[in-house]
Chains A and B, each alone.
Chain A
């Protein structure tokens, strides 16, 4: 079983549309991170959310941490082709607090 389930798994939209992707778990976390990975590259950290209910904005991207700190969402406004990539949520877990990734959402924004 996956610690972090992301949905949808795949998303193909037209430029200018809005979208929301989700990261869900039954566990409580002290913090949660979102990464974006472009084809042929390593993942790059977008944001870290720490407080339950916290909302952070990064240009057209809005990240929210659930009140109970079990889930998170990423909303993109007016998507652009440059937003295309794999979006991954991640938390620290396990006995050694290693970084554990979610299942990922693959986003394709068509021009």
Chain B
């Protein structure tokens, strides 16, 4: 039973390029969350999606960032025109139902984005 799968694990982009991070949730999980972590800091919530719907994007920067979780395929976090400040670890998590109702949220191993 595979866990939450993220790829790529490491990504290097030049300023101005696009970064696409993919997340395949655990089997049977329809809730996906994205978090960003700067070095030696806690995880900051970005967006919460449930198959084809964005439930909460209150943590997403207003520009350049977007997320989707299509009916088929992985969830994608897309960062356009990357800047040095986007360099961070991006973690995806998934759950079967809402975490509040007792469903454990499982995290992937993260995607490390470096902008040069």
B100 neighbours in A (Cβ, 8 Å)? 92, 97
**A40, A102, A106: the one within 8 Å of B109 (CB):** A40
Assess whether B42 is in contact with A99, with CB atoms less than 8 Å apart. no
Q: A103 to B41: give the CA distance in the assembly, Å.
A: 7
Interface residues on B, range: 20 to 34
Q: Which of B43-85 contact A (CB under 8 A)?
A: 43-45, 48, 55-56, 58
A100 neighbours in B (Cβ, 8 Å)? 45
Residue B108 at the chain A interface, CB threshold 8 Å: yes
Taking the closest CB of chain A, its distance from the CB of B63, in whole angstroms, is 22
Residue A68 at the chain B interface, CB threshold 8 Å: no
B43 neighbours in A (Cβ, 8 Å)? 43, 88, 101
Q: A99 to B46: give the CA distance in the assembly, Å.
A: 11
| Nearest A-chain residue to B101, judged by Cβ | A97
| Nearest B-chain residue to A88, judged by Cβ | B42
**Total interface residues in chain A, CB < 8 Å:** 22
Taking the closest CB of chain B, its distance from the CB of A21, in whole angstroms, is 13
Assess whether A95 is in contact with B56, with CB atoms less than 8 Å apart. yes
Assess whether B108 is in contact with A99, with CB atoms less than 8 Å apart. no
Known contacts A41-B109, A43-B107, A98-B48; is-contact A106 B40 (Cβ 8 Å): yes
Assess whether A102 is in contact with B42, with CB atoms less than 8 Å apart. yes
Known pairs A86-B42, A94-B58; list 18 more (Cβ under 8 Å).
A41-B110, A42-B107, A43-B43, A43-B107, A44-B107, A45-B105, A88-B43, A94-B56, A96-B48, A96-B55, A96-B56, A97-B98, A98-B48, A99-B33, A99-B93, A101-B35, A102-B42, A104-B41
Subset of 15 A-B contacts with CB under 8 Å: A40-B109, A42-B93, A45-B104, A86-B42, A88-B42, A88-B43, A92-B100, A94-B56, A95-B56, A97-B99, A98-B48, A98-B56, A101-B44, A101-B45, A103-B41
Closest 10 CB pairs of A and B: A42-B107, A97-B100, A96-B56, A104-B42, A92-B100, A101-B43, A101-B42, A103-B42, A98-B48, A42-B109
